[in-house]
Amino acid sequence: MSSRTLPLLFINLGGEMLYILDQRLRAQNIPADKAKKVMNDIITTMFNKKFLEELFKPQELYSKKALRTVFDRLAHASIMRLNQASMDKLYDLMTMAFKYQVLLCPRPKDILLVSFNHMDAIKDFLKDTPSILSQVDETYQQLIEMYTPLSGGDFQLIRQTLLIFFQDMHIRVSIFLKDKVQNSNGRFVLPTSGPVPYGTQVPGLIRMFNCTGEEVNRLQFTNGGNYTAAVREGSFEIFGDRFTKLGTNMYSVSRPVETHLSGKSKNSSQHTKVSAAPNPLAKEELNLLARLMGGLEVDRAGHVDSSFRVNLFATDEEEEEASLSRPNELSYGVINIQATKDQQANAELTRIMGEFTESGDQSPSSSSKGDDLLALMDGL
């Protein structure tokens, strides 16, 4: 398992989450100032310096439930509210979109280009907010320094780690079903045509060499597809043409998006399998996020009127029906976090909180009391 997979997983899922939320905010005609605040608050939380320092430490992936907890907190890092069914749908869309992108990458290293497409989109969301943009640029530089020197074998290990993480997720998505890139059982249909990976040749030729390295014979064969040579490689610089559509916004053309559990997935016990002993670094990272987000003071009087709910379904009735029909093992309860006691007892945490709030006013969704996240993670 690759220890460098977690940052790419987090950034790509985060990018997909922002695409989906942006589309829904527009569809529900949320005022532009509120929509912008939602996006800015979520991105500011995603790219918090202290949190990213923990994220970029070499570590193995942790359980699906742990990762879901992070994105629950991120999605509610602003004045926006999501009901359980909408949060489930949001997470399903995020994970299936990125899974499809990983499967379609012509070569493992192209996962980095997908990540850069997500980063480019995040920067575009922030084009009018330079204070937050600097945080994103720092992360860009970290990605370049960490991943561009890696070998093809390293990226192959990262790709395999991602596919193992996603292997039991077979949620049907309406966009994929309509485009016929997903079967009714939730599995993706991979093309047998198109450009070959950059640096490789179109299949169809066998060359034979003698012991001195001289070519002595050639054989042609039918490759079974309509392949073309790759025109050029995408750019791995901060500014450049990625030359791939993977990782760009598939919701830019407005159309309804629905998710459905495949029949096999409804009864599969595989979805309930999680790590019995989560990586200690992962638990510390989640606990840090809990403190950063849960320990902030919430001005309840100032946000009662400004908060609003986003529904990822067409109607409230559809949302309620989805909530009732979703198998319990596939739903994740929202974990409430109480970090006030930690904040008062820990001077270092207070300093971190000060750095966290410098980038802008944050409005996390919950100030209700709950168990410490580290204790909760012991049971995941």
Structure tokens at 107: 């070569």
More confidently predicted of 288 and 71: 71
| DSSP classification of residue 15 | H
Asked if residue 12 is part of any domain, the answer here is yes
Asked if residue 180 is part of any domain, the answer here is yes
Asked if residue 76 is part of any domain, the answer here is yes
Sequence-ordered alpha helix ranges (H) in the chain:
6-27, 32-46, 49-55, 64-75, 84-104, 110-125, 130-147, 152-166, 174-178, 263-267, 280-294, 300-303, 316-325, 340-345, 347-357, 373-377
CB atoms < 10 A from the CB of 232, how many? 8
Q: Which of 247, 155, 237 is nearest to 197 (CA)?
A: 155
Whole-angstrom distance, CA of residue 57 vs CA of residue 146? 11
Asked if residue 173 is part of any domain, the answer here is yes
Asked if residue 350 is part of any domain, the answer here is no
Residues composing the chain: 380
Asked if residue 372 is part of any domain, the answer here is no
* Residue range of the domain that includes 179: 5-189
Structure tokens at 226: 């309509």
For the chain, the first-to-last Cα distance in angstroms comes to 20
> CA 109, 49, 15, 236 torsion: positive or negative?
negative
Asked if residue 20 is part of any domain, the answer here is yes
- Highest mean pLDDT out of 131-135, 196-200, 217-221, 340-344: 217-221
Task: Give the total number of structural domains in the chain.
Answer: 1
| DSSP classification of residue 168 | T
Q: For residue 142, is pLDDT > 70?
A: yes
Task: Render pLDDT for 91-126 as a digit per residue (tens, 0 to 9).
Answer: 999 999 999 999 999 999 999 999 999 999 999 998
**Averaged pLDDT for residues 181-186:** 92
pTM of full prediction above 0.85? no
Task: Render pLDDT for 303-328 as a digit per residue (tens, 0 to 9).
Answer: 445 677 787 777 767 767 777 666 65
Asked if residue 264 is part of any domain, the answer here is no
